[in-house]
């Protein structure tokens, strides 16, 4: 396996890490809980809560992997994976559960029966089971909060009700990033939930963060080519890092922005993709370049691609915003502002026909640099529709600085205080 493949698997989350970093207690808690369900047949319900990219799914998958390695458990649990984004209502969710449990009303991949029948069938199946003899079912509900939006929360009520009554042993594991998820649950549903929550909130310090970057970048011990292994791991040693204060700055900035692994992986992936056969080691400059790509402002990028006319319209809008303190404007106002500029200050830009200006205005709208404020667009003439600019001053100024061959009079107009 090449190191490229190794890293792509690591950074694109195709392979689970050996063990989850920085969440040992949560790991232990969850493993213990699921083990009790699997071995003792104790029903449980738990929510894993943490911000996006904090490793909820990774933790759960690590725990499941570990759980299934236990001999007794291996053949004894039935995991059912559901995702709130896929199973958007209870009907679909029930079919999916039934299919994954492979109950008797499933033939091949098809689930027979109506919604009501499926529900009754599943409940009957779960009711018939008992703690000691039936296989524990692990219901894993990804995006748990979305299930709470289903009608009557029927599915949640029933799953949690099973977990609180002497039926087939189940563990209901919800994954969500919403801290207020319990408030979404209806009072009956909430009462049946065990209120066990595992929070994944990383309190990683910058030093630990740097260590993580290093460990994420280093090749594993069992890498076959030992010479390359040594060279590579040597190239990412501490001294290389600390000798580049710029690099530390960049990483600090990333750390300040977000501590989660997903954004770090994105950065490292970009840096790593600059490594080639001719340049077999990762250099600090690669990381700097990657960081620049990551941090770049998307809107400023779009502004670079605009025509001079469109840019002028944007500047006109900026002035209107300044004058009217952010009140919405319409095409006519922008056009007037633009004409004033043409009459008074412009040397390089000629007059444009109104339809041409209108076309440029519409293009800006399509790019979503400006946005219509009215919901009912049909009634009002295009020229008089109220618009708002979705750009910040700083973005406009930055774009102007970088705009290739921008006429100086336009630049000056942009920087002048009032039109």
* Least distance between other proteins and beta carbon 39 (Å): 5
**Interface residue with other proteins, options 165, 243, 307, 401 (CB under 8 A):** 165
User: Token pair for residue 168?
Assistant: 């087939």
Residue 374 interacts with other proteins (CB under 8 A)? Answer: no
Residue 170 neighbours by CB under 8 Å, 6+ apart: 37, 43, 126, 136, 137, 138, 139, 159, 162, 163
Q: Specify the DSSP element, H or E, that contains 159.
A: helix 154-163
Beta strands in 177-220 (DSSP E): 197-199
**Interface residue with other proteins, options 101, 171, 306, 320 (CB under 8 A):** 101
Residue 415 interacts with other proteins (CB under 8 A)? Answer: no
Identify which of 70, 171, 92 has the alpha carbon closest to the alpha carbon of residue 126. 171
Residue 266 interacts with other proteins (CB under 8 A)? Answer: no
* Least distance between other proteins and beta carbon 350 (Å): 33
Residue 375 interacts with other proteins (CB under 8 A)? Answer: no
Nearer to other proteins, 82 or 168 (CB): 168
In DSSP notation, 28-74 reads HHHHHHHHIIIII---EEEEEE--TTSSHHHHHHHHHHHHHHSHHHH
Residue 353 interacts with other proteins (CB under 8 A)? Answer: no
Residue 187 interacts with other proteins (CB under 8 A)? Answer: yes
Nearer to other proteins, 159 or 360 (CB): 159
Nearer to other proteins, 84 or 136 (CB): 136
Residue 390 interacts with other proteins (CB under 8 A)? Answer: yes
* Least distance between other proteins and beta carbon 312 (Å): 21
User: Token pair for residue 179?
Assistant: 């801290």
User: 308 to 327, contacts with other proteins by CB under 8 A?
Assistant: 326
Residue 103 interacts with other proteins (CB under 8 A)? Answer: yes
Residue 179 interacts with other proteins (CB under 8 A)? Answer: yes
Q: Specify the DSSP element, H or E, that contains 292.
A: helix 284-295
**Interface residue with other proteins, options 112, 243, 281, 324 (CB under 8 A):** 112
Mapped onto helix, strand or coil, the DSSP state of residue 392 is coil
Is 141 in contact with 90 (CB distance < 8 Å)?
Answer: no
Nearest-angstrom CA–CA distance, 177 and 201: 10
Nearest-angstrom CA–CA distance, 323 and 64: 60
Residue 297 interacts with other proteins (CB under 8 A)? Answer: yes
Nearer to other proteins, 247 or 282 (CB): 247
Nearer to other proteins, 87 or 202 (CB): 202
Number of residues located near other proteins, criterion CB under 8 A: 96
Among the candidate windows 160-168, 274-282, 340-348, 379-387, which touches other proteins by CB under 8 A?
160-168
Report how far Cα 179 is from the mean position of its chain's Cα atoms.
16
CA–CA–CA angle 162, 166, 167 (5° rounding): 55
Nearer to other proteins, 298 or 376 (CB): 298
Nearer to other proteins, 154 or 216 (CB): 154
Nearest-angstrom CA–CA distance, 179 and 85: 18
Residue 123 interacts with other proteins (CB under 8 A)? Answer: yes
């Amino acid at each position: 396996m090449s190191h490229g493949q190794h890293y792509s698997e690591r950074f694109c989350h195709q392979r689970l890490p050996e063990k989850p970093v920085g969440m040992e207690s949560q790991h232990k808690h969850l493993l213990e809980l699921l083990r009790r369900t699997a071995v003792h047949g104790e029903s449980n319900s738990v929510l894993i809560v943490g911000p996006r990219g904090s490793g909820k799914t990774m933790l759960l998958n690590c725990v499941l992997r570990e759980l299934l390695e236990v001999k007794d458990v291996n053949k004894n649990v039935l995991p059912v994976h559901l995702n709130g984004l896929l199973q958007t209502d209870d009907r679909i969710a029930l079919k999916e559960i039934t299919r994954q449990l492979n109950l008797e009303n499933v033939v091949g991949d098809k689930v027979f029966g109506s919604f009501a029948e499926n529900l009754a069938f599943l409940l009957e199946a779960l009711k018939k089971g008992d703690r000691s003899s039936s296989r524990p079912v692990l219901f894993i509900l990804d995006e748990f909060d979305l299930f709470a939006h289903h009608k009557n929360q029927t599915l949640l009520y029933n799953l949690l009700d099973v977990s609180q009554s002497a039926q087939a042993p189940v563990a209901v594991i919800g994954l969500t990033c919403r801290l207020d998820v319990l408030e979404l649950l209806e009072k009956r549903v909430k009462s049946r939930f065990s209120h066990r929550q595992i929070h994944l909130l990383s309190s990683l310090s910058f030093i630990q963060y740097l260590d993580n970057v290093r460990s994420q970048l280093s090749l594993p011990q069992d890498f076959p080519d030992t010479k390359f292994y040594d060279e590579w791991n040597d190239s990412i040693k501490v001294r290389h890092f600390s000798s580049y204060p710029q690099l530390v700055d960049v990483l600090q900035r990333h750390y300040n922005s977000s501590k989660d692994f997903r954004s770090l992986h994105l950065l490292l992936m970009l840096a790593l993709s600059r490594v080639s056969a001719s340049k077999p080691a990762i250099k600090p400059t690669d990381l700097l370049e990657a960081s620049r790509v990551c941090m770049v402002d998307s809107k400023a990028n779009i502004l670079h691609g605009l025509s001079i006319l469109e840019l002028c319209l944007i500047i006109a809008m900026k002035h209107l915003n300044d004058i009217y303190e952010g009140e919405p404007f319409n095409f006519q106002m922008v056009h007037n502002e633009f004409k004033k500029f043409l009459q008074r200050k412009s040397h390089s830009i000629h007059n444009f026909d109104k339809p041409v200006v209108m076309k440029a205005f519409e293009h800006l709208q399509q790019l979503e640099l400006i946005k219509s404020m009215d919901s009912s667009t049909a009634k009002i003439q295009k020229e008089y529709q109220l618009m708002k600019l979705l750009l910040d001053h700083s973005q406009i100024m930055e774009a102007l600085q970088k705009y290739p061959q921008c006429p100086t009079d336009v630049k000056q107009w942009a920087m002048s205080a009032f039109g």
